[in-house]
Amino acid sequence: MADTSDFKNGLVLKIDNQLQQIIEFQHVKPGKGPAFVRTKLKNVLSGKVVDKTFNAGVKVETATVDRRDMTYLYNDGSDYIFMDGETFDQIHLSDQLLGKGAGFLLENMQVQVATHEGEALFVELPTTVELIVAHTEPGLQGDRSSAGTKPATLETGAEVQVPLFINVGDKLKIDTRDSGYLGRVNS
């Protein structure tokens, strides 16, 4: 059990037999009336995000989530294979579980796999990854119809929007949370 004062980003709560992860929270103390906590919760299994308000001091059941550092090995076509660095156990995770994060996985990448009662819930990728552009059209200098961006396919197969000056072979820093371009990396 956790009190609302124990809330932090990433905490997993058990609400109505559903596992909900706190994405954002805010303690609010209005001038009139009791304090409360406004949260944004993400359903761990479905990925659906909902807003929920808790009165201050309310006890909420927490779920025990084990986060383990694992290494991404390879994709066998239907599953992604990860290995625990300590026990060398391998687990197979589906692309539904990984979601859009699967597009940023490189072999031997370190990730965190969260499990609850032995079942994998989600995979936390590093916040940023460095990937090489595999394909992109040349940027036309006068083209501003797309706000100065163009699509680029990365070495992992993911497609992101990049500035017009990016070329094939450039190494880019990409934010895995929103697929955003952060900059070029000097090799």
Q: Which residues contact 124 (CB under 8 A, 6 or more apart)?
A: 67, 111, 112, 113, 114
Instruction: Note whether 142 and 96 are same-domain residues.
Output: no
Q: Name the band, by pLDDT with cuts 50, 70 and 90, for residue 72.
A: very high
Q: What is the pLDDT of residues 89-117, one digit of tens each?
A: 898 988 877 878 888 988 999 999 888 88
State the DSSP H helix or E strand holding residue 98, giving kind and residue range, or none if neither: helix 95-98
| 58 in Cβ contact with 91 (< 8 Å) | no
Instruction: Note whether 20 and 33 are same-domain residues.
Output: yes
Structural domain span for residue 140: 128-184
Asked whether residue 174 carries a pLDDT value surpassing 90, the answer given is: yes
DSSP state of 97: H
Instruction: Note whether 140 and 161 are same-domain residues.
Output: yes
- What global pTM score does this model have? 0.70
The enclosing domain of 40 has a CATH number of 2.30.30.30
* Gap between the Cα atoms of 177 and 60, Å rounded: 27
* Gap between the Cα atoms of 33 and 165, Å rounded: 55
